[in-house]
Structure 1
Amino acid sequence: MYDLPRSAHQNAGFEQPLAEQIWRQKYQYHSQNEVIDDTVEDTWARVAKALAATETPAQCDEIAQAFFDAMQDFRVLPGGRILSGAGTKRRVTLANTFVMRTIPDSVTGIMDTLKDAALTMQMGGGVGFDFSTIRPSGTPVHGLDCPAAGPLSAMDIFDTTCKMLVTGMGRGAMMATMRCDHPDIEAFVMAKSDRTRFRNFNLSVMVTDAFMEAVREGRDWHLIWSGQVMRTLKATDLWNAIMKQTYGAAEPGVLFIDRINAANPLRYMETIAATNSCAEQPLPPNGTCPLASINLARLVSAPFTKNARIDLGEMRSLVGVVVRMLDNVLDVSRFALEEQWNQAQNQRRIGIGVTGVADAIAMLGAKYGSPKAVFLLSSWMQTIQNAAYLASAHLAKERGTFASYNAAHHLELPSIQALDADVLDAVKRYGLRNGTLTTIAPTGTTSMFAGNVSSGIEPIFSTSFTRKITNADGTKSTERVMDYAAWRHIQMFGADAPLPDNFTTAADLSPSDHVAMQAAAQKWVDSGISKTVNCPEDIPFQAFKTIYRDAYDAGCKGCTTYRPNDVTGSVLSI
């Protein structure tokens, strides 16, 4: 294979010092004290060659060049695991997201699951678990004549194990879920009242449609184990407990689990009960999914002018490249467990998302959260969804469908029927290479690497802010960072030119603005969306407590809120 281009200038593409710092700490390849990637272009070339290695010899160079070209100018941002691991000698996984096996209700089963999770996190994967399968505290342990410790005690062991695992990609990250009808759900909801407990977990309550109905109607709610009602309480009491706890400690989030399963393109073969650590990827037991994002901020031409537009043709083209790129990841990636490899091969899930959305909206003259912004985001995601399915159908023609594909069941799904007519025709003709295609992940670090574009579909936090950084040696530091769209405005009009009135930041938004944007995107996303509804510290609780219900009513698959508080503090400060 010929060498892809190397830059004549050292990292000419970095526009802010923090971006280069992120690259050096996270993505630049060093091996035995030798610098392999001299420039960011070298990183892109390394990744492109590694992911094109599965192609035929006749196609290999051409595909590697296409991958390289897509990453140039930060237009395509592969997930951090891909950027740091592809083409290296490191024993790491290139998939960001994992859900572990269904946890057996036994000491052996719990410890075997913990071992598998530790191996997965050691290779760089974020993991999720459903702890609903562990018997409630106080119930009898047959044969031992003693009460069960319960799922939270098991979580303590997992949390301690995660704390000791430090890899080249940072500390491990975990998600714990529990059903809203588990007898220990109240203890789960309140778990993070203790600021020293479960620091390595995110917590989400799996909320069912029946529970939301019971809350709305003020009915009783049964807590059940093994088919038996263990306790009964008012549904509104549990709901208020969830809202009060997240008001004070930013957790737990909620997952609307029935909706997640109903909208899952693979619902005909699995039931989902957990997500990865950041909740954007609902997955079955042993499920996994590699990620990448299209950077919409880099697709805007003539920003801040009446001629501003986003290049939809380039967007479609990039999506097609990324489908192939992530499908290749599934074949070149390492996995900690054979079960994960098997799931990856049988379902071939991939997650194409977006980042820089708020910057793109600002550069086009719209205000984040406005009806125009909601329309733009929905139309962009519809374009991406259709482009992804078309590319996957054509890839299926070339390589075959994913092993578990069932055309009759897959084609009856509402999300498939909603595709454009030509795309649906291609899917009917060729099938699909990938079981799921779209996801909106948190892109905090890769977004900073790309010049501090706004993260995922989140609003612009501030035009400039201070961010706490964990350095490679574990020490903390702070960096002053400018938002990409604000930086572009300065380059075009000078530092003294005021920003346009439509330039909205997180502090200007209401919770309903956040929910409207999340719901607009969710309609055209196969999997989930990592999105936080940021709230001011002084928001009244009566206004706050409706947010999760509003997200449910709007069609979201889950919701997470953040209000500055004494427990979690603040990562970003203006």
Structure 2
Amino acid sequence: MHTETGHPQTVPGEKSGTSSGQTSGGTTLIATAPGQIRVIKRNSTVVPYDDGKISVALTKAFLAVEGGTAAASSRVHELVDELVKQISATFNRRMPSGGTIHIEEIQDQVELALMRAGEHKVARDYVLYREERARLRAERDKPGQQVGQADTHPSIRVKLSDNRLVPLDMERLRTVVREACEGLKHVNSETILSEALKNLYEGVSENDINTALVITARTLVEQEPNYTYATASLLLDKLRAEALRFLGIAERATQHEMERLYSSTLPTYIQKGIELELLDPALATFDLETLGQALKGERDHQFTYLGLQTLYDRYFLHSDDIRFELPQIFFMRVAMGLSIHEENRDERAVEFYNLLSSFDYMSSTPTLFNAGTLRPQLSSCYLTTVPDDLHGIYGAIRDNAMLSKWAGGLGNDWTPVRSLGSYIKGTNGKSQGVVPFLKVANDTAVAVNQGGKRKGAVCAYLETWHLDIEEFLELRKNTGDDRRRTHDMNTANWVPDLFMKRVFEDSEWTLFSPADCPDLHDLFGSAFEERYAHYENMVATGALTLYKKIRALDLWRKMLGMLFETGHPWITFKDSCNLRSPQQHAGVVHSSNLCTEITLNTKAGDEVAVCNLGSVNLAQHIAENGELDRAKLASTVKIAVRMLDNVIDINYYAVESARQSNVRHRPIGLGMMGFQDALYKAGIAYASDEAVAFADCTMEAISFEAISASSDLAVERGKYQTYEGSLWSKGILPLDSIQILSEQRGSQFIEQDTRSTLDWHGLREKVKAQGMRNSNVMAIAPTATIANITGVSQSIEPTYQNLYVKSNLSGEFTVVNPYLVHDLKDRGLWDQVMVNDLKYYEGSVQKIDRVPDDLKAIYRTAFEVEPRWIVDAASRRQKWIDQAQSLNLYIAGADGKKLDLTYRMAWFRGLKTTYYLRALAATTTEKSTVNSGALNAVSASGDNAVVTAAALAQQAPVAATVPQACSLDDPDCEACQ
């Protein structure tokens, strides 16, 4: 049977235009230019001829016959364009001076054009469709007739777990679907129900009934984004049954029933979790009746399908693979775990629960995994320095294994390890360098995954003066000796300012072994430059013989080339991390972490840095008028900082030196996610001065409130142990530390905005008077997974594509930009053709003529945003952040010149770190059939080895592949959040 969505219901002029008068016969006329062709519609209105509507009608015809894959192909696009030209040319020849034609004449020409083109199946279907529409119109015009009433479905029996067959409970089925669609615009419960019923059969299982509902709803997501919420609610019906049966509470419950059951379910859940030795027995000492009453079952409706499925697959507690947590109980478990040491812990648990369950703020993944359990490893990142001795090296690798077991992301500083060819006094031999040990660290990360929930994840850092740096750059290559490759480990360059100056000056650079100049590792700024020059003088005099001289620009190009070819090593900047660190008096920042946002002190054998992460959902703090809700943000940040500070004392430490370090300095990393969503709500294009200013003002507000909250906690709980001597104690806030960087680097090598709008003088005085509870307060992490849970864009990323499929450990999920869809709907532009155009153009609206220019500007995708906008916005944020930010760089049409300019700009604008480089690849999105909803994820194509460092060194344009990474579709990098 033909459907309205599968065929051209309308053709040119089908919608009425602006009325300017009416003939005596009732035909509405509109003003048209001389010589213009006009169309008489079936309702007698007259509108201008529009060949764009013919294009839409033809595309719908191909969709109905050939499906989405064929209709989105280049053949069909080109054919439709040609047919439209032929049809328009016919009428222009007939009426060169303009005139009026009937809608039926246009449809006649569409039929003829299809026949002449040899598209007989499409033409036949189009003719049958016209006849069916004519019949329906005739039926509709008969008095007392109702057309299109749904047929009654034959009875079906359902097979229960005990093999009994019982009649399908249609009333409950309708209730579940109706509840899933409540309050959702443009979502039709009858559509889901009727389509799902077609897939049921005699003897169907209860699980298969739910699966049919879920699959039906999820196929509609690309038509209307709100179906993702309906899909999640339908999935939740299955999850409720699984949990309630396991807990012995009920066989199943509808959403409305569950909202009443939540309060009584919490005590049973806590008791069961303790019996199974999964939950801390201390949770039973809370006032469970009060906490149960605080649960808000209606918040289950907030989940997208991806968000709920992710929670179910990876976060909910389970026994024998049966999940017995439900969303609101999950959030309360986390809240209880974080408030377990609070004096008024019941009140705090409710406060923390409300913040989490509202999606205003979300704790990091390790906290969500483990809060309230017997092993509450809640911290996100661990940073270590590897010493230059065999015992210390394998001790560091052992620490990696223990930390990874409990879901920690790792950053290792390998710079102290002597280079290839260095003398080994104990054996009177020569070292094999750092690379063989990196291979062991790589294999350890693979062998010891994160609690069986995520792959182990580690990043190795090496300073740019290390003699093994050139081999380090090639660790991720797919060619060469595999014993000297690390295919699973991330790598990053730790780049001193002096190297960047040599690049700008096109001068020489010298590589050393750390065994000969160990103090370089702990020096930064002008002190590093002076000592580095000293060692170069030793080379000149012959006092130092193990070295290599290289043109700095050549090494820089090789760094960029390897980054382009393999996705590694990332580029991070040693001096900006150290000179702006509040903890300069307490030690040196030797590396960042797995995701390049943490910049904390480490020391071999003594100081394992720990960071505890969580993120404000910025989109939740934008008011209806598009402005930042400062009052709400202040409240969110205050509670979030308290939750993060609690992590430090509750945390389970697999390594004692990590506990000592964390308790001594108490660093936390409050970040943000949903930045792109916030821009959409504010009506601001990412690639604009307004977006840069928005990044500035929002981060300023978060920074102000976070520092203030930590200072207030210091009054309540005491300052952190190493506060005295810190930049905080001197009244030097992150904004002020830019001056330190400028003075040490040289003002000609930095350009960073230092303007402010809030009362920073007052805050400085407050901090000096009260102190700080935490040595470090802010860091923007990737938020890959927790952004999925809350249904917003991750971190500070621009939109990847407006329509694509995200793949992770929970499966594949159609992602469509809801803001774009709703804006297009408001303008009457969202239809099946638009969906297929988005697929054809791989999620981009830039080449779709029907999309207005103002929407094209707002909905540019990541590769359509010039990297300078990403860097400039990051620079504005960085001035407020005491740590760093995970910053992916998207570069379309990347070549050596573009990469060189972008990364020089990142350093020049004062950034501390960068993360993945995403160069636009020779990839395609497979065009799916719309009805199935199968849209394959972007995947890299071609041979990586073709894209060579040599090509970039010559600054030649080359084709790239997209490195697989957490922020697109690979879960490997979700270790931080």
Name the TM-score, length of structure 1 as normaliser: 0.92
Letter in 1 for 2:433: G
Query: Does residue 13 in structure 1 map to residue 302 in structure 2?
Result: yes
Q: Is the 8 A contact 2:618 2:674 kept in 1?
A: yes
Letter in 1 for 2:790: A
Q: Is the 8 A contact 2:299 2:358 kept in 1?
A: no
Structure 1 residues 417-436: aligned runs within 5 Å: 418=736, 420-436=760-776
Instruction: Give 1:33 shift.
Output: 4.7
Instruction: Give 1:412 shift.
Output: 3.0
Instruction: Give 1:492 shift.
Output: 7.9
Change beyond 3 A, Cα 1:554–1:408: closer
Instruction: Give 1:8 shift.
Output: 4.0
Question: What is the DSSP-based 3-state SS (H/G/I as helix, E as strand, rest coil) of the residue aligned with 2:645?
Answer: helix
Change beyond 3 A, Cα 1:10–1:405: closer
Separation (CA, whole Å) in 2 of partners of 1:260 and 1:191: 25
Separation (CA, whole Å) in 1 of partners of 2:711 and 2:377: 26
Query: Does residue 241 in structure 1 map to residue 580 in structure 2?
Result: no
Query: Does residue 308 in structure 1 map to residue 597 in structure 2?
Result: no
Q: Is the 8 A contact 2:821 2:830 kept in 1?
A: no
Query: Does residue 534 in structure 1 map to residue 890 in structure 2?
Result: yes
Letter in 2 for 1:200: D
Separation (CA, whole Å) in 2 of partners of 1:445 and 1:217: 42
Query: Does residue 62 in structure 1 map to residue 396 in structure 2?
Result: no
Corresponding residue for 1:292? 614
Letter in 2 for 1:60: R
Q: Is the 8 A contact 1:29 1:88 kept in 2?
A: no
Aligned with residue 494 of structure 2, among 190, 201, 206: 206
Separation (CA, whole Å) in 1 of partners of 2:890 and 2:664: 38
Q: Is the 8 A contact 2:648 2:662 kept in 1?
A: yes
Instruction: Give 1:490 shift.
Output: 7.7
Q: Is the 8 A contact 1:48 1:65 kept in 2?
A: yes
Instruction: Give 1:417 shift.
Output: 6.9
Corresponding residue for 1:469? 808
Unaligned runs of 5+ in 1: 472-476
Q: Is the 8 A contact 1:362 1:504 kept in 2?
A: no
Residues 479-504 of structure 1 show CA distances to partners (whole Å, capped at 9, x for unaligned) of: 21234544675898888296834233
Corresponding residue for 2:373? 88
**Greater shift after overlay, 315-324 or 460-469?**
460-469
Separation (CA, whole Å) in 1 of partners of 2:409 and 2:394: 18
Separation (CA, whole Å) in 1 of partners of 2:828 and 2:405: 47
**Greater shift after overlay, 42-51 or 492-501?**
492-501
Q: Is the 8 A contact 2:493 2:571 kept in 1?
A: yes
Instruction: Give 1:168 shift.
Output: 3.2
Residues 479-538 of structure 1 show CA distances to partners (whole Å, capped at 9, x for unaligned) of: 2123454467589888829683423321311121211121111111111100110122x3
Instruction: Give 1:426 shift.
Output: 1.8
Question: What is the DSSP-based 3-state SS (H/G/I as helix, E as strand, rest coil) of the residue aligned with 2:773?
Answer: coil
Query: Does residue 392 in structure 1 map to residue 710 in structure 2?
Result: yes
Q: Is the 8 A contact 2:582 2:727 kept in 1?
A: no
Query: Does residue 460 in structure 1 map to residue 799 in structure 2?
Result: yes
Q: Is the 8 A contact 1:99 1:287 kept in 2?
A: yes
Aligned with residue 339 of structure 2, among 52, 62, 68: 52
Change beyond 3 A, Cα 1:144–1:484: farther
Aligned with residue 478 of structure 2, among 188, 194, 206: 194
Separation (CA, whole Å) in 1 of partners of 2:827 and 2:623: 15
Separation (CA, whole Å) in 2 of partners of 1:495 and 1:73: 33
Q: Is the 8 A contact 1:247 1:541 kept in 2?
A: no
Instruction: Give 1:141 shift.
Output: 2.0
Letter in 1 for 2:460: A
Corresponding residue for 1:329? 647
Separation (CA, whole Å) in 1 of partners of 2:431 and 2:734: 45
Letter in 1 for 2:688: S
**Greater shift after overlay, 381-390 or 563-572?**
563-572
Aligned with residue 329 of structure 2, among 31, 36, 42: 42
Structure 1 residues 21-36: aligned runs within 5 Å: 21-31=309-319, 33=321, 35-36=323-324
Separation (CA, whole Å) in 2 of partners of 1:241 and 1:22: 39
Q: Is the 8 A contact 2:735 2:879 kept in 1?
A: no
Instruction: Give 1:35 shift.
Output: 3.5
Aligned with residue 461 of structure 2, among 172, 177, 181: 177
Instruction: Give 1:357 shift.
Output: 0.3
Change beyond 3 A, Cα 1:202–1:413: farther
Structure 1 residues 342-353: aligned runs within 5 Å: 342-353=660-671
Corresponding residue for 2:405? 122
Letter in 1 for 2:794: S
Corresponding residue for 1:380? 698
Instruction: Give 1:440 shift.
Output: 0.3
Q: Is the 8 A contact 1:369 1:517 kept in 2?
A: no
Q: Is the 8 A contact 1:29 1:37 kept in 2?
A: yes
Change beyond 3 A, Cα 1:31–1:562: same
Letter in 2 for 1:319: V
Separation (CA, whole Å) in 2 of partners of 1:416 and 1:206: 21
Question: What is the DSSP-based 3-state SS (H/G/I as helix, E as strand, rest coil) of the residue aligned with 2:301?
Answer: coil
Q: How many aligned positions are there? A: 556
**Greater shift after overlay, 400-409 or 364-373?**
400-409
Instruction: Give 1:430 shift.
Output: 1.1
Question: What is the DSSP-based 3-state SS (H/G/I as helix, E as strand, rest coil) of the residue aligned with 2:705?
Answer: helix
Which structure: greater helix fraction? 2
Separation (CA, whole Å) in 2 of partners of 1:494 and 1:328: 50
Separation (CA, whole Å) in 2 of partners of 1:65 and 1:35: 23
Change beyond 3 A, Cα 1:491–1:31: farther
Separation (CA, whole Å) in 1 of partners of 2:417 and 2:726: 36
Corresponding residue for 1:557? 912
Separation (CA, whole Å) in 2 of partners of 1:361 and 1:429: 37
**Greater shift after overlay, 405-414 or 438-447?**
405-414
Corresponding residue for 1:474? none
Q: Is the 8 A contact 2:918 2:963 kept in 1?
A: no
Q: Is the 8 A contact 1:131 1:176 kept in 2?
A: yes
Query: Does residue 262 in structure 1 map to residue 579 in structure 2?
Result: yes
Q: Is the 8 A contact 2:457 2:489 kept in 1?
A: yes
Letter in 2 for 1:294: V
Query: Does residue 74 in structure 1 map to residue 359 in structure 2?
Result: yes
Instruction: Give 1:361 shift.
Output: 0.7
Change beyond 3 A, Cα 1:339–1:570: closer
Instruction: Kindly report the root-mean-square deviation, in angstroms, between the aligned alpha carbons of the 2 structures.
Output: 2.2
Residues 455-480 of structure 1 show CA distances to partners (whole Å, capped at 9, x for unaligned) of: 11111112221112224xxxxx4221
Question: What is the DSSP-based 3-state SS (H/G/I as helix, E as strand, rest coil) of the residue aligned with 1:294?
Answer: strand
Corresponding residue for 1:153? 436
Separation (CA, whole Å) in 1 of partners of 2:331 and 2:391: 44
Change beyond 3 A, Cα 1:562–1:325: same
Separation (CA, whole Å) in 2 of partners of 1:485 and 1:407: 48
Instruction: Give 1:73 shift.
Output: 2.5
Change beyond 3 A, Cα 1:526–1:125: same
Q: Is the 8 A contact 2:665 2:721 kept in 1?
A: yes
Change beyond 3 A, Cα 1:117–1:136: same
Query: Does residue 105 in structure 1 map to residue 392 in structure 2?
Result: no
Query: Does residue 231 in structure 1 map to residue 548 in structure 2?
Result: yes
Separation (CA, whole Å) in 2 of partners of 1:390 and 1:376: 21
Question: What is the DSSP-based 3-state SS (H/G/I as helix, E as strand, rest coil) of the residue aligned with 2:302?
Answer: coil
Q: Is the 8 A contact 1:417 1:424 kept in 2?
A: no
Name the TM-score, length of structure 2 as normaliser: 0.55
Separation (CA, whole Å) in 2 of partners of 1:154 and 1:311: 50
Which structure: greater strand fraction? 1
Query: Does residue 272 in structure 1 map to residue 586 in structure 2?
Result: no
Question: What is the DSSP-based 3-state SS (H/G/I as helix, E as strand, rest coil) of the residue aligned with 1:301?
Answer: coil
Separation (CA, whole Å) in 2 of partners of 1:157 and 1:336: 20
**Greater shift after overlay, 562-571 or 106-115?**
562-571
Question: What is the DSSP-based 3-state SS (H/G/I as helix, E as strand, rest coil) of the residue aligned with 1:467?
Answer: strand
Instruction: Give 1:415 shift.
Output: 2.4
Change beyond 3 A, Cα 1:119–1:408: closer
Unaligned runs of 5+ in 2: 1-286, 518-543, 603-607, 737-758, 832-850, 922-939, 945-961, 970-977
Change beyond 3 A, Cα 1:18–1:177: same
Structure 1 residues 506-545: aligned runs within 5 Å: 506-536=862-892, 538-545=893-900
